[in-house]
């Protein structure tokens, strides 16, 4: 796990200027790679790298790495690099290190783009071939590792995060279209970034800059990937367990200490059970928050799993003051506005875990792959709800639901919140329902907050297109495909990468091994999602590996009491975000945020996510000294 950056210009670079820019970019990327730094350049390309040493800790594994006339910078881990190395050695390649970086270089020289499907791992890399005057960027299948670029003709700047890319390419103007997406989803979906002229390379894509031009191409498509055939649910459960256990074992390869995040949920418990099978020593880490409602406490449930499996378990108690004190560091670690408040506990558990290990396995991806979120249960109930006559829904049920108070600090208020969200969207068709359950703000509130929408595809249209890519799948699988393509890279993996890298911790996700995801995609939705039971096939596969209580606990998010904090110790953040000059500078109407605050204070409506999104945007803008949004939206292409 590292940080990379680079600048290529087919017309030639000013090497002194480029190196000065690279110095600033690498300073930004320093937390991603505290173990080393390197630069390399020629007349047309400059590559920079910050290293977090995981395999082959010697200088032989340093980057940028040069072999056979090509130069490479790489972020991630190739779990099957030793098997690929043996294959390449049989084809005549010679190696000077035991690093996966060198295997990538040799593999590209041997197979070029045909290398990418051979890779089992998480990666983002840039390879410069001086003989061809060709720069190649590539990103892993599901977007575990980030890669941002900015192209201007034959000039291309790129980096592991937007702030570093901006140091190389020059300052960009805020993109109003991207900010609209932020207030729609709480994050900015790919390929957009917060800045005009900058783009994220989408998962499963590669980009090539050469004298022939610039092209971005998809190299992996889950909907088109070859998938196994299962004759029965029992056969699928047996095969799934074997695939998950193999994925966990692969992710234990490291020359540094490895541990695991352990919450009270199913996913991390299964990962740790598989680790316990593969290794004699397993270290697990759980964070708990003092002085918050029991809803947010996971330490007792995690300890039960740790005791059952016999792990070396560490509980990290975080006071409310410590959690609040980390918020500035959370914002510092974000390269663009990101409003999932679970970034706070993610940062804290990564910070605490890094004191003991350099690599941690997590259960990330399990919900998106196997249907674990509550909204999937809502999808099963939507058919019954739609059987209620539409006039009765519109004129009685939905207006009454909107009157209910809501909040996460009391079980009844939390149930009311879920009910309000369900009835607001369950009456629509499949794509409208899915988009509704993703949405933060409906279109009319967006217009009131930010002005009329630019001519662009709506969230509903985007979800419909993603579902349509899996048109041969059943309705549940179409929903999962859309979430894997949109929410997983934009929200879950962004949060995990930025918060772990802010603490120089590598996080590995066995549930996102492509063989696991493809196996799950081959199963009927009914095997994964049953009424009252998400991730059913995963539960069945590991039923004898964990205490029964693990599978009986209700679904909980990894959250902090953000609504309570915004009414109390974080009040100053709210007030700063609502300053009239701040809002006016970014074209944000003040009426809606003021109403959100009044509703939160009055306890009638939990508007904390709306307010937190506004805070996330204004905090990011303040950190970069951002100029107001530009008039014309756009992103690099």
Query: Any idea which residues carry the catalytic annotation?
Result: 2
- Separation of alpha carbons 195 and 165, rounded Å: 11
What are the tokens at 152? 């201007």
Distance from chain centroid for Cα 410 = 29
Using the structure block, give the residue that is written with the tokens 């209580």.
549
Using the structure block, give the residue that is written with the tokens 């291309």.
156
| C-alpha closest to that of 48 among 10, 69, 75 | 75
CB 197 within 8 A of CB 119: no
DSSP string covering 538-580: HHHHTTTTS-HHHHHSPP--S---HHHHHHTTTHHHHHHHT-H
User: In sequence order, what are the residues at sequence separation of 6 or more whose Cβ sits closer than 8 angstroms to the Cβ of residue 384?
Assistant: none
CB 220 within 8 A of CB 469: no
- Separation of alpha carbons 27 and 32, rounded Å: 10
CB 325 within 8 A of CB 596: no
DSSP string covering 244-302: HHHHHHHTT--SS-EEEE--SSHHHHHHHHHHHHH-S--EEEEEEETTS-GGG--HHHH
- Separation of alpha carbons 467 and 429, rounded Å: 12
- Separation of alpha carbons 188 and 147, rounded Å: 14
């Amino acid at each position: 796990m590292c940080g990379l950056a680079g600048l290529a210009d087919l017309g030639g670079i000013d090497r002194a200027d480029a190196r000065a820019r690279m110095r600033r970019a690498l300073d930004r990327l320093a937390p991603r790679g505290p173990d080393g730094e390197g630069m390399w350049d020629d007349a047309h390309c400059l590559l920079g790298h910050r290293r977090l040493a995981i395999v082959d800790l010697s200088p032989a594994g340093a980057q940028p790495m040069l072999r056979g006339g090509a130069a490479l910078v790489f972020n991630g881990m190739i779990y099957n690099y030793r098997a690929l190395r043996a294959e390449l050695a049989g084809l005549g390649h010679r190696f000077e290190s035991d690093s996966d970086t060198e295997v990538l270089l040799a593999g590209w020289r041997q197979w070029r783009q045909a290398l990418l499907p051979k890779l089992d791992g998480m990666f983002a890399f840039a390879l410069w071939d001086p003989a061809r005057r060709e720069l190649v960027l590539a990103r892993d299948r599901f977007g575990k590792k980030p890669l941002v670029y900015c192209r201007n003709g034959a000039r291309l700047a790129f980096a592991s995060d937007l702030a570093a890319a901006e140091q190389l390419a020059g300052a960009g103007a805020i993109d109003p279209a991207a900010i609209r997406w932020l207030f729609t989803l709480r994050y900015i979906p790919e390929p957009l970034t917060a800045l005009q002229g900058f783009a994220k390379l989408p998962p499963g894509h590669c980009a090539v800059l050469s004298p022939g031009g610039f092209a971005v191409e998809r190299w992996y498509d889950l909907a088109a990937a070859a998938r196994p055939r299962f004759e029965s649910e029992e056969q699928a459960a047996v095969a799934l367990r074997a695939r998950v256990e193999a994925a966990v074992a692969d992710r234990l390869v490291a020359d540094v200490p490895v541990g695991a995040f352990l919450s009270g949920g199913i996913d991390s418990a299964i990962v740790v059970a598989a680790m316990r099978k593969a290794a004699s020593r397993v270290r697990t880490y759980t964070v708990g928050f003092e002085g918050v409602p029991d809803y947010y406490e996971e330490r007792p449930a995690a300890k039960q799993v740790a005791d059952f499996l016999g792990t070396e378990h560490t509980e990290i108690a975080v006071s409310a003051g410590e959690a609040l004190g980390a918020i500035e560091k959370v914002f510092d670690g974000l390269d663009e506005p990101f409003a999932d408040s679970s970034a706070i506990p993610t940062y804290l558990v990564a910070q605490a875990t890094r004191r003991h290990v350099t690599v941690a396995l997590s259960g990330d991806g399990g919900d998106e792959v196997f249907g674990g979120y509550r909204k999937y249960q809502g999808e099963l109930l939507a058919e019954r709800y739609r059987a209620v006559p539409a006039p009765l829904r519109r004129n009685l049920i939905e207006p009454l639901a909107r009157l209910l108070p809501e909040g996460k600090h009391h079980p009844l208020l939390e149930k009311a919140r879920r009910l309000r969200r369900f009835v607001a969207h369950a009456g629509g068709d499949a794509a409208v329902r899915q988009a509704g359950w993703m949405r933060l703000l409906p279109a009319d509130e967006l217009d009131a907050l930010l002005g009329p929408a630019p001519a662009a595809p709506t969230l509903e249209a985007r979800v419909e297109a993603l579902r349509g890519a899996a048109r041969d799948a059943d309705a549940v699988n179409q929903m999962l495909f859309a979430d894997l393509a949109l929410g997983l890279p934009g929200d879950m993996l962004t949060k995990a990468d930025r918060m772990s890298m802010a603490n120089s911790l590598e996080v590995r996700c066995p549930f996102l091994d492509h063989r696991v995801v493809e196996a799950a995609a081959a199963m009927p939705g009914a095997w994964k999602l049953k009424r009252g039971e998400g991730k059913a096939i995963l539960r069945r596969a590991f039923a004898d590996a964990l205490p029964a209580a693990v599978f009986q606990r209700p679904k909980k998010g990894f959250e902090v009491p953000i609504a309570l904090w915004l009414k109390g110790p974080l009040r100053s953040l709210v007030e700063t975000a609502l300053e009239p000059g701040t809002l006016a500078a970014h074209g944000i109407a003040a009426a809606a945020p003021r109403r959100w605050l009044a509703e939160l204070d009055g306890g009638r409506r939990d508007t904390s996510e709306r307010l937190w999104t506004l805070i996330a945007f204004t905090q990011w803008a303040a950190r970069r000294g951002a100029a107001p949004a530009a008039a014309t939206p756009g992103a690099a292409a």
